[in-house]
Structure 1
């Protein structure tokens, strides 16, 4: 057995051993000649990417409380992967398209992580595709963009922050200059946040992050009043503003340019759990 096949078998063994309610279940691999096909759990509600798009288009309402619960699901799954023994798993491609949903009650969907553990023998183009797909670039940390070979599991924390932003604001992280709600108070930032391709990568490496559409507490309160919808009618405007502020602060910590300053998923889980208790 050659080295590639041995590595492939180790990866399949790892995937088959993972059991977590927020990770898509892997059942096995079908090998047909040179091709390999994964057999995984079917989740009937599609991807988080699709849900965000539906919410943006007005075909489905996703309130802030529900968004926090989705993020807690994702954080729980990632915390499990990052703490696997003896070998932690780094996802490297965490994004809404790799978060799948299931459930019968639309207010209680469960989010599950997929597409995280494949070896290079299963897809030799994985590394190349991750650096050329514009949809993936939005979620790539500054250290990965710079080519730092010493990156660690904190790249997933950065990607999680961009998911937090996209789920909250329901817009493309950078290609969004036509958005009225994003530039209600920060019109001067439009051009900077509409960069593409290599120009975008350069700016992200040097600190550019998706726009936060309010700078002061007064602007936050006005923005929340106009654009943020709670499911719970008993949730006061003050509580909703407090929840929004905590959400944004956590998101900013997660996309810190210094990956050592980004929180661990264990801490993120605790803070999101606290957010679910706000009333």
Structure 2
């Protein structure tokens, strides 16, 4: 009996991964779907939770899960390849009007089908401990707001890997879909292993939108076991809602044909739950192949050959599997564990609060290496990573209504792998503590060395300064043009530029970052956030961040490095205004840092100062991209042409709705008084 079951299992796996296109399955039945918890079959679909009365705080969460009965093969250990996959499903979250919403629903790929968490807000996902060998990947459609796990709001999509803290998330309402509407929603989830890219679309219709709602880079080869279970999970927590799934297609595939768009391969997948519109007839088939025209004689021959081929293949597989099973039993459990274990390389890990406290001597003040508006940074030491920088967030501090921890965590866990970006190594979300752990950079911030804010006797030579500026340019070029999603840093300044042991620049602190799709044409105005002296005038008065606002901040950094002066001096002198004045008086070289004592290349110094002025041009359309600025700095293209007089530009405020004032920025029409160069109300920003 055991041999027969194993035989059927291996035949199923063969057909599932290498089947002919005409493979079909029966409609949703207990034969191919396994239900857990409160899930039940309902109208040819699944209800993962049951509508209940509002649960008292002491009641366990109402949790349900539905997984396909057989695991999918995601890793080929012999050939060291990872499967890509595509998935489409329709779901509804139907609320109980008398109760708050439940936790939400997730699409789940897990190595352990029996691992659950009964904590509210966990949506039934596994709650792993540090010693767990299990792994999971999930896309959550979250309808509850739980700040302790980094939720951005109570209506978002998030991507989770081995933790309920999403490393990438998006407000789904901003994408035109409300998870709490009670309407049927269709979701598409696609992973391309060749690009290490996950993409997610959502829509009320069955037509996939042109642009994904969420995109993130991740290498699932480091997360998946050889075989993983696939399905859905949902929970109600302290609320109540019906979480239903009524249509589902899923497909894994090994390689792409260049002539075929891999995204379209979803239409070739196996459909485990279908409505009549998915099939050309009412026959209970899960998948129907593309229609083809055959003459009756050819069809008979084809069917006969196909039948013989299938029988022959199954017979061979039966023999192979019989001996393989016997051999596998002889190897034992130890061999199986060695074969299927996949190490997590280069992936930040979750740390316990006890580990963090041990690393920082209980957050001892002597360990503090930096303090900001939203966090304190400690130097720590972990056995697995050596020296680290531990960033402890103040949850009571929110800038412009956002949680800096959530923003920074989601951004850093997305796609930020670049030599000139500070690399995250771990995080801790335990109790009231929100902590990120980064690589430790021994030479500290550029601000401290440039302005002698510490006891360090290190002198930044001209060659080091030029290399630092080029490193920052490389980081910003990556964020603006090369990352899967465009990232606007919004807080480029010298104290957020860290230096490693060889004085290479690494840009950090993404607590104010904004993430956009590259195709995004319009962006909403917000209250400007950042640091005085680094903010572009159009951003201050219009409130819309763009790559050119980062270019302006970069230009201020360039001038700061070349001159050794702060963006706003203690006497109120504004660096940008001062350098423009020297340019107008044909004395630009006098802006060079006097501490260099003339030990610099005059042509390189002039080039850097001109690049800085070009980047802080009052008219954002006249500014170069950071990539173009870097080429000028390296002497790969001609110097920018600057006007003989400081240019002016007219800006109308988008934020001050009741004001009709038009502001003239630059030239002789600049705002007068002590705040002329600040270009922003002092009370909104920090000078730090």
The two structures have a TM-score, normalised by structure 1, of 0.68
CA change 1:210–1:165 in 2 (3 A) is farther
1:44 Cα deviation after fit: 1.1
1:194 to 563, 568, 573: 573
After TM superposition, list the pairs within 5 Å mapping 1:142-153 onto structure 2. Answer: 142-146=537-541, 148-153=542-547
CA change 1:230–1:155 in 2 (3 A) is same
Contact 1:139 1:162 in 2 (8 A): yes
> Counterpart in 2 of 1:272?
633
> Counterpart in 1 of 2:15?
none
Whole-angstrom CA distance in 2 between matches of 1:250 and 1:256: 10
1:252 to 599, 613, 622: 613
Count of aligned pairs between the two proteins = 226
Whole-angstrom CA distance in 2 between matches of 1:219 and 1:14: 42
CA deviation string 1:70-103 (max 9, x = no partner): 1000000111011244311110011111001111
Contact 1:56 1:171 in 2 (8 A): no
> Counterpart in 1 of 2:338?
none
- Alpha-carbon RMSD: 3.4
> Counterpart in 1 of 2:59?
none
> Counterpart in 2 of 1:123?
none
1:273 Cα deviation after fit: 2.0
1:227 Cα deviation after fit: 5.7
Decide which moves more: 253-262 or 56-65. 56-65
1:246 Cα deviation after fit: 1.1
1:209 to 565, 576, 579: 576
Whole-angstrom CA distance in 1 between matches of 2:537 and 2:496: 20
In structure 1, the gaps of 5 or more residues are 121-126, 178-192, 196-207
The two structures have a TM-score, normalised by structure 2, of 0.30
The answer as to 2:495 corresponding to 1:100 is no
Q: Tell me, what secondary structure is at the counterpart of 1:31?
A: strand
2:507 to 113, 117, 142: 113
1:262 to 623, 626, 632: 623
Q: Tell me, what secondary structure is at the counterpart of 1:89?
A: strand
> Counterpart in 1 of 2:190?
none
1:60 Cα deviation after fit: 3.4
2:434 to 30, 33, 36: 36
Whole-angstrom CA distance in 2 between matches of 1:225 and 1:76: 24
Contact 1:55 1:61 in 2 (8 A): no
- Higher strand residue share: 2
Whole-angstrom CA distance in 2 between matches of 1:228 and 1:217: 22
Decide which moves more: 59-68 or 38-47. 59-68
Whole-angstrom CA distance in 1 between matches of 2:539 and 2:558: 19
1:254 Cα deviation after fit: 0.3
Contact 1:75 1:265 in 2 (8 A): yes
Whole-angstrom CA distance in 2 between matches of 1:88 and 1:163: 21
CA deviation string 1:108-132 (max 9, x = no partner): 4111000126679xxxxxx98946x
1:52 Cα deviation after fit: 0.6
Regions of 4+ moved over 6 Å: 55-58
CA change 1:214–1:100 in 2 (3 A) is same
1:161 Cα deviation after fit: 1.1
In structure 2, the gaps of 5 or more residues are 1-141, 146-150, 159-164, 170-408, 515-525, 637-688
Bigger Cα Rg: 2
CA change 1:220–1:263 in 2 (3 A) is closer
Q: Tell me, what secondary structure is at the counterpart of 1:211?
A: helix
> Counterpart in 2 of 1:49?
447
Q: Tell me, what secondary structure is at the counterpart of 2:418?
A: coil
The answer as to 2:533 corresponding to 1:138 is yes
Whole-angstrom CA distance in 1 between matches of 2:468 and 2:569: 24
CA deviation string 1:206-235 (max 9, x = no partner): xx934127447974567769664466xxx7
Q: Tell me, what secondary structure is at the counterpart of 2:487?
A: coil
1:241 to 602, 609, 613: 602
- Higher helix residue share: 1
Whole-angstrom CA distance in 2 between matches of 1:243 and 1:55: 26
Whole-angstrom CA distance in 2 between matches of 1:241 and 1:119: 36
Contact 1:253 1:261 in 2 (8 A): yes
Whole-angstrom CA distance in 2 between matches of 1:165 and 1:38: 31
1:63 Cα deviation after fit: 2.5
Higher relative contact order (CA 8 A, sep 6+): 1
Whole-angstrom CA distance in 1 between matches of 2:504 and 2:460: 14
Decide which moves more: 245-254 or 265-274. 265-274
